Structure 1
C-alpha cells in the first residue's frame, strides 16, 4: 500500500502531453480521466485514513482504479 496519489501524469509520464490534449479534445477520454481522478482520490483518502474503509472495500477501490488505469493506458496507446 502506498500513500502516494497515483496521478495520471505520474503513472504515464511518456503521455503527459497526450493526456492533456485528449482531456480537452475527447469527451470520452475526459470522462475516463475524471473518473480515474475521483477514484484515485477515494483510494488515497482511504489509504491515509482521512476516510477509513474496511479492508475489502479499500481493496475493491484499488482494483477498480487499476482496471480504469489499464483502460486509460490502452486508450492512450491506441490514440498515440
Structure 2
C-alpha cells in the first residue's frame, strides 16, 4: 500500500500513534477479508462487504495523513 510513501509510513508508524493504529487496523481488516474470502473463517457476503468498506475508509484516512506529512 502506497509504495511511494514507504519511508514516510515507516517513520509515521513509530512517531504517530494515531497513524500506527489506523495502519494496523487496516492490515488486520485485510487479513480478515482474505481469511473470509478463502473460506478459512465463515462469513457471508454482507460481512465481507462491510469490512471492505471500513478498510477503504481507513485507506483514505491514511492517505490524507501521508499527503499532509509529505507536504509539511
Is TM > 0.5 for Structure 1 vs Structure 2? yes
Which of residues 32, 43, 52 is equivalent to 1:42? 32
Which of residues 44, 52, 60 is equivalent to 1:62? 52
1:79 alignment partner, SS class: helix
Structure 2 length-normalised TM: 0.90
The structure that has the greater radius of gyration is 2
Aligned residues: 70
Q: Indicate the RMSD between aligned Cα atoms, in angstroms.
A: 0.9
Residues 22-78 of structure 1: CA distance to partner in whole angstroms, max 9, x if unpaired?
001111111111111111111111111111310111111111101110110111001
Partner Cα distance (2:44, 2:59) in 1: 23
What is residue 67 of structure 2 aligned with on the other side? 77
What 5-or-longer segments of structure 2 have no aligned partner? none
What 5-or-longer segments of structure 1 have no aligned partner? 1-10
Q: Could you say which structure has the higher helix fraction?
A: 2
What is residue 12 of structure 1 aligned with on the other side? 2
